[in-house]
Amino acid sequence: MATTARETAAVPRSRHSARYDVLVGSGLVSLVLLAVGGWLTSLGIGPWYYELSFPPFQPPAWVFTPAWIVVLSLLALATWKVSQGDHSARIVFALYGAQCVLNAGWSLLFFTLQRPDAALYWLFVLDATLLLMVICYARASRLSGLLLVPYLLWLLFATAINSWIVKDNGPFSPQRFEPSLVREHLEDSMLTSYRLGESSFNSTTRLPPGRD
């Protein structure tokens, strides 16, 4: 009887741990997605972008990173909340994975490949995917669906900006992607990280005056 009681008590703890694993995992995915999007943006940002005509309702550049942090954090929280239910999560996690790929793909098309026109069609698919996610998440948990609404609104706002850019700046010619750009960017990033690490190490190992 004691063994059975211990086994019974272990089941809720196991499920509890697994549910928090989803929270940690989806949070890490959000961080990776944010980092990949920023990296792809940095690969393509340049004179061509600053020469574009932007809509009057586009916010300052500093707004975008905090906005993405908020909506992706809410996405991770909503996904964790959905995982607490007893329903089948296969469709939910399939949509979750699809939006990750679509999100990164938009940054690749718009910035790295310098094709806002192709990125706009890609963004339409991402909008539809998020709408399906809101519906599926809400069926499992009303709160989860509500947590995704800011993400959907942010994407619709981004779609309006992208549409304006395409309308006022097109047509866009295909750009040949240069792998050397990726290599150069990685080398610059590694060199910067090395210099920062070296500077930090030197500052922490420097002896105080009078003790050498």
pTM of the model: 0.72
pLDDT (tens digit per residue) in 85-115: 655 567 888 888 899 999 999 999 999 999 9
CATH number where 148 lies: 1.20.1260.100
Please tell me the distance from the alpha carbon of residue 202 to that of residue 151, in angstroms, as a whole number. 43
And the tokens for 30?
Answer: 């959000």
Confidence of residue 207 (pLDDT cuts 50, 70, 90): very low
Say how far apart CA 49 and CA 114 lie, in whole Å: 8
Is 9 contained in some domain?
no
Mean pLDDT of 125-134: 95
Q: Is 10 among the domain residues? A: no
Task: Give which of 176, 125, 150, 179 is closest to 67, Cα–Cα.
Answer: 150
- Residue 40 in this model has a pLDDT that exceeds 60: yes
- As a whole number of angstroms, the distance between CA 116 and CA 111 comes to 8
pLDDT 10s digits, 130-184: 999 999 999 888 999 999 999 999 999 999 999 999 999 977 876 654 555 545 5
149 is in which domain, residue-wise?
Answer: 21-187
What digits encode the pLDDT tens for the residues 43-68? 888 899 999 999 999 999 999 999 99
Region for 172 from its dihedrals, namely left if φ exceeds 0, alpha if ψ lies in -120 to 50, beta otherwise: beta
d(CA 206, CA 50): 43
Q: Is residue 16 part of a domain?
A: no
Residue 58 lies in a domain: yes
Q: Does residue 198 lie in a domain region? A: no
Mention every residue, 6+ apart, whose C-beta is less than 8 A from residue 122. 102, 105, 106, 109
Q: What percent of the chain has pLDDT over 70?
A: 67
Closest listed residue to residue 137, CA positions, set 171, 96, 196: 96
Cβ 173 vs Cβ 134: under 8 Å: no
In angstroms, the first-to-last Cα distance of the chain is 69
The answer to whether 162 and 110 are in contact (CB under 8 A) is yes
- CA-to-CA distance for 191 and 31, rounded, in angstroms? 23
Please give the tally of structural domains in the chain: 1
Residue 54 falls inside a structural domain: yes
CA distance 2 to 133: 44
8 belongs to a structural domain: no
Six token digits for residue 59: 């916010």
Inside any domain, residue 207: no
